[in-house]
Every structure is written in structure tokens, then in C-alpha cells.
A and B are shown apart, each in its own frame.
Chain A
Amino acid sequence: MNRLARILGNRLFALSTLIGIGIWLLVVPALTGGLGANPVEKLLHLTGEIAIWMLGAVLALSPLRALFPKSRIVAALNRHRRAIGVSACIYALLHLAAHVVYEGGLDGLLRSFSKPFIWYGAAGLSILIILAVTSNQFSIRSLGGRNWKLLHRLAYIAAALLVYHQAIAGKGHWHTGRWLFFPLASLQLARITKQLFMRPARKHRATAILTTVANAR
């Protein structure tokens, strides 16, 4: 267990996994003709899926830490939240690039902006970019820990926007969104529940809930 935790906590391991996912799912199929009949669409979908699952992974890590404070594995994975978050942003940018190629010209690109799902995607991506740009020590210091934390809670808004973006982007795509949405929502709910029950009962219950909700991040 300790050894697994050490491997999982290794920075190089994390980076090669995050880049490896892209090489394995995007680059190798692209070079070997494995993208199928509609390669641009495949890249479009894959980059989007990778981005949203990485965002989901980051958002799962902090409640997992609250739920399993003693787990070394969860602690090890939590070291990589920044790297995973920035990767999510990079894959989302690749997703945008694939969209530009898919539309094939300015006309199509502009026309795509007549549809709401593009706006949800663009809003989510904008948040990811802001969060990625401010994901360094310098930003934390200059914003102040509290403000920085508040700013980075936008990740939840981004996730909601992007799950919705995915759900309404295609014909039956809402079937995939739920696999992301319900687990994440359950984790958050479990964390809030746990914090409620762990809290000493001296405070009024309503205040306790409010504080817990406010503390949840």
C-alpha cells in the first residue's frame, strides 16, 4: 500500500500519465488510422471527454480526502490536483482546436456560436483558462489564499457548465453526462453529511449546516 502510494504520489508518474492518456487515446490512433470514419469528430469527442473526466477527477479528489483522511493513496493523488486541473484545461483547448477544424471555416465557426451548447462550452473553457493561469504560487500569494480559494471554487461552476455542454451537444449525449454528474454529486453529498455528523453538537443544527456548506470546497 505504501509503495503504491509512493508511486501514485510521484510527480513524474502523474505527468507521464496525464500526457500518456493523450498519446494513447489521440496520437496513437491518429497515426495508425484508428480514428475511424470521421476522424475530426472522433478527436473532437475524445479531447472533450478527456478534459471533462480530468476535471471530474480533480473535483473528486478533495471530497475523497475529506472522506478518507487517513488514506495514503488519496493523499498521494491529492498532490496532483494542480497538474490534473491544468491538463483538463489543455485538453479542453485541444477540443476547441478540433472544433475549429470540424467547422472548417469562419462561416461554420460563427454559425456554431448561434447555438447555446457552444456558449456553455465557451463559458466553461474560459473558467478553466482563468484557473489554469492562476494555478501557480505567485497567483496564490498575490491574490491571497482566501480570494484564491474563492476564485478556484469556480471549478464547480465550470464542471456544471461543461457537463451540461456535453449533454446537449449531441443526439443522445445526456446518457454519458450522468456518469460524471451523479458520482460527483454523491461525493459532495457524502462529504457534507460526514462533516455534519463529525461536528460536535454544541451548535444549532441550522448554523452547523450553513457552516458546513460554506466550508465545503
Chain B
Amino acid sequence: MSDHCIRDRDLAAVAAATPEPYYLRRREFLRLFGLGVAASAFLPLTSQAASTGFPDALNAGYKLDGVKITPEDLVTSYNNFNEWGQAKDQPKELANRGWKTRPWSIEIGGLCANPRKMDVDELIQLLGPIERRNYRHRCVEAWSMVIPWDGFPLAKLVDLAQPKGEAKYVRFASFFDSANCRAQRSNDFPWPYTEGLTIEESRHELAFLAVGLYGKPLPNQNGAPIRLVVPWKYGFKSAKSLAKIEFVAEQPKTLWNQLAPNEYGFYANVNPNVDHPRWSQKSERVIGAGFFSGKQATLMFNGYEKQVGHLYAGMDLRKNF
């Protein structure tokens, strides 16, 4: 709820700060007008907000039967977002002390025919409609959740950008804002947070760009306003709060891989048979399962082996971890 209040206020602030001719640009006007109509048609009055594309509908292909969806308050209060603290309960607190995730500019560039820089809501409009998918989420630290994400396939963005033939990888960079993000003033990490996929992985139907969870815009701590979700890879591959998506020819440097190349590989596919050098990856603790629940067995490619196994056919997964 507070989420919506903040957004309403932000919108009012944007309106107040923007000269009228610009504020009433056609696209902007249509977006706001269209949303207003859609929202008043589907939502109770209290929850009307400038949240592009909501409400959305569950994509029946990604219902994920037989697993318990992790409660929302756990999804939004426990995660790694090193820009906002080292402990997993810190991002909820630190990412909400005045950090603005709207308006938000996102750049698509590199080796593609259609590079562009635009506001994130404009991008969401372009790539929508958004849909809901329930995805397993497995952290490299051996804990897991099941999260209902709202967003769209990454492939849609790739198609929009039209990568050139020589583009073999996609590089994702999170925001860099050392003025407002204290952690980014220190050199502990090579900021900004960067991640990468092969172009084939980025076109896979499972690769997803999330703009919301639980049917609401992403909370700041979960990577607002837009983040990557790659459910068959360890969580750190799913970069948050994206500022730039780039098509490149060489395998991009990624943050955790730079920090500890022997521990965090470029592929980082969930694999119970290849341990992290310092801890086992055979099992995982399920968040929300209870104090004495112990751990459950980790699945190959996080349970998505049938869908993604072919991407790595013939590859030595022990070497390309």
C-alpha cells in the first residue's frame, strides 16, 4: 500500500516539476489517460496507481503446480542486493530511504540495429502486455523461494533491439548512483553490478524481465523498476534495477565473477552436482518452510532441465560452472 502512496506522490512531483508543454506530450498523455481508464475499470479506487500494465494475468504455462509460493512479506524482506547492505534483511530498509526508482532511464545499446535510451515506463509500454509467471528462485547461497514475477520475456526486448550478427552476449548493468547509494562510494565491489548471458540464453523463453511481483510494481529492494530473472541460474545472475542492456561480441565481465572467478562462473547454472568450492549445492533451505524444515534437494537447472538443457548440450558443466 505504502508503495502506491509513494508512487502517487512521485507522479505529482514529476507533474509539478515538468513544464506543461512537455508534460502533456501525446504519448505521456495517452499513457496516463489509458491507464486511468483501465485502472478505474478493473481496480478498486484505493489501489489506482501509475503502475504501468497492472493488473496482469498468470501465464498458464508457468503456474508451477505442486509447489508452495513464498509469502510476499518474505520475498520482499530477504534478498541480496549489495548496493543496499551486506545482510539480507537490509535492502528492505536501506533501499527505501529516499532512493528514487521513478522516473528511471534505461539504455539499450551496443551491437544492435535499434539502440535507444528511454524512460522505463515507455519501455514497458513498448514490450507489454506484462504477464505473471511463478518461477523457482535458487540463490548460490543454498536457499530458495518460489516467486510470482510480473513482466515480459527478455526475448521481446532482444527482438526490439535487433542485435547484429556479431553480438554473441548480452551485458546487463545495474544503476550507478554513488550520490544516493552509500555502498557505491566504497571500492569493495566493482560497481556498477554487471551480469551477462549468451545471446541464445537471452532469447530463451524462460529468460524474463520482471517489473513487478505479486501483481504490484517491484519494491525498491527487489530491483525496481526493472530486473532480470533467469530462473535456471543462481540468483546473482538476475541483475536488479537495470540501467543498461548492451549487446557485445565478447563474454562480458560480471561482478561476482570478477571478485572470485573460481567460485562464481559466467554460466552459474543451478547444478547440485557441482559444489561451490566453499559449500555444498546439493540441497537448499526453502524460505518460509519452517524452523525445523531442514533442506530440500536442489534440482538440475533448478528444475528447468527439460527447457534449457539443450542450451548446454555437450558442454562440460564442471568446467563451465
Binding site for B on A (CB under 8 A): 36-42, 101-105, 108, 111-112, 114-117, 168-172, 175-176
Partner of B294, one of A104, A168, A170: A104
Partner of A105, one of B88, B275, B294: B294
Binding site for A on B (CB under 8 A): 73-74, 77-78, 80, 82, 86, 88-89, 140-141, 143, 188, 256, 275, 278-280, 282-283, 285, 287-288, 291-295
Chain A residues near B295 (CB, 8 Å)? 103-105, 108
Q: How far is the CB of A170 from chain B (nearest CB, A)?
A: 7
Given A37-B77, A40-B291, A175-B86, 8 new contacts (CB under 8 A): A36-B88, A37-B89, A104-B293, A105-B295, A111-B282, A116-B278, A117-B278, A176-B86
A38 close to B287 (CB less than 8 A)? yes
Chain A residues near B278 (CB, 8 Å)? 115-117, 168-169
* Listed A/B pairs (17) with beta-carbon separation below 8 Å: A36-B89, A37-B74, A37-B88, A37-B287, A37-B288, A38-B285, A39-B291, A41-B285, A103-B295, A104-B285, A114-B275, A115-B280, A116-B278, A117-B278, A170-B141, A171-B256, A172-B82
With A and B bound together, what is the CA distance between A73 and B82 in angstroms?
A: 39
Chain A residues near B77 (CB, 8 Å)? 36-37
Chain B residues near A40 (CB, 8 Å)? 285, 291
With A and B bound together, what is the CA distance between A172 and B82 in angstroms?
A: 9
With A and B bound together, what is the CA distance between A36 and B221 in angstroms?
A: 15
Measured CB to CB, the nearest residue on chain B to A109 is B294
B283 close to A171 (CB less than 8 A)? no
Chain A residues near B140 (CB, 8 Å)? 171
Whether A112 contacts B280 in the complex (CB less than 8 A), given A36-B89, A104-B294, comes out as: yes
Measured CB to CB, the nearest residue on chain A to B294 is A104
Chain B residues near A114 (CB, 8 Å)? 275, 280
- Prevailing SS type, chain A contact patch: helix
Chain A residues near B283 (CB, 8 Å)? 108, 111
With A and B bound together, what is the CA distance between A117 and B275 in angstroms?
A: 14
Partner of A115, one of B89, B279, B293: B279
Measured CB to CB, the nearest residue on chain A to B293 is A104
With A and B bound together, what is the CA distance between A114 and B82 in angstroms?
A: 28
B80 close to A171 (CB less than 8 A)? yes
With A and B bound together, what is the CA distance between A115 and B283 in angstroms?
A: 14
Chain B residues near A102 (CB, 8 Å)? 285
- The 4 closest A-B CB pairs, nearest first, are A104-B294, A37-B78, A37-B74, A36-B89
B188 close to A175 (CB less than 8 A)? yes
With A and B bound together, what is the CA distance between A72 and B181 in angstroms?
A: 42
With A and B bound together, what is the CA distance between A101 and B293 in angstroms?
A: 9
Measured CB to CB, the nearest residue on chain B to A116 is B278
Q: Which of B74, B86, B188 has the most CB of A within 10 A?
A: B86
B294 close to A103 (CB less than 8 A)? yes
Q: How far is the CB of A164 from chain B (nearest CB, A)?
A: 11
With A and B bound together, what is the CA distance between A169 and B278 in angstroms?
A: 7
B294 close to A108 (CB less than 8 A)? yes
Chain B residues near A108 (CB, 8 Å)? 283, 294-295
With A and B bound together, what is the CA distance between A39 and B86 in angstroms?
A: 17
With A and B bound together, what is the CA distance between A139 and B11 in angstroms?
A: 71
Q: How far is the CB of A29 from chain B (nearest CB, A)?
A: 11
Q: How far is the CB of B146 from chain A (nearest CB, A)?
A: 13
Chain A residues near B279 (CB, 8 Å)? 112, 115, 117, 169
Chain B residues near A172 (CB, 8 Å)? 82, 86
Chain B residues near A111 (CB, 8 Å)? 280, 282-283
B88 close to A38 (CB less than 8 A)? yes
Measured CB to CB, the nearest residue on chain B to A45 is B87
With A and B bound together, what is the CA distance between A176 and B87 in angstroms?
A: 11
With A and B bound together, what is the CA distance between A90 and B320 in angstroms?
A: 43
With A and B bound together, what is the CA distance between A103 and B80 in angstroms?
A: 21
A41 close to B86 (CB less than 8 A)? no
Q: How far is the CB of B153 from chain A (nearest CB, A)?
A: 28
Whether A171 contacts B294 in the complex (CB less than 8 A), given A41-B285, A112-B280, comes out as: no
With A and B bound together, what is the CA distance between A105 and B293 in angstroms?
A: 9
A36 close to B78 (CB less than 8 A)? yes
Whether A104 contacts B141 in the complex (CB less than 8 A), given A37-B74, A114-B280, A115-B278, comes out as: no
With A and B bound together, what is the CA distance between A101 and B282 in angstroms?
A: 17
With A and B bound together, what is the CA distance between A108 and B143 in angstroms?
A: 14
Chain A residues near B287 (CB, 8 Å)? 37-38
Chain B residues near A101 (CB, 8 Å)? 291-292
With A and B bound together, what is the CA distance between A41 and B288 in angstroms?
A: 12
Measured CB to CB, the nearest residue on chain A to B283 is A108
Q: How far is the CB of B191 from chain A (nearest CB, A)?
A: 14
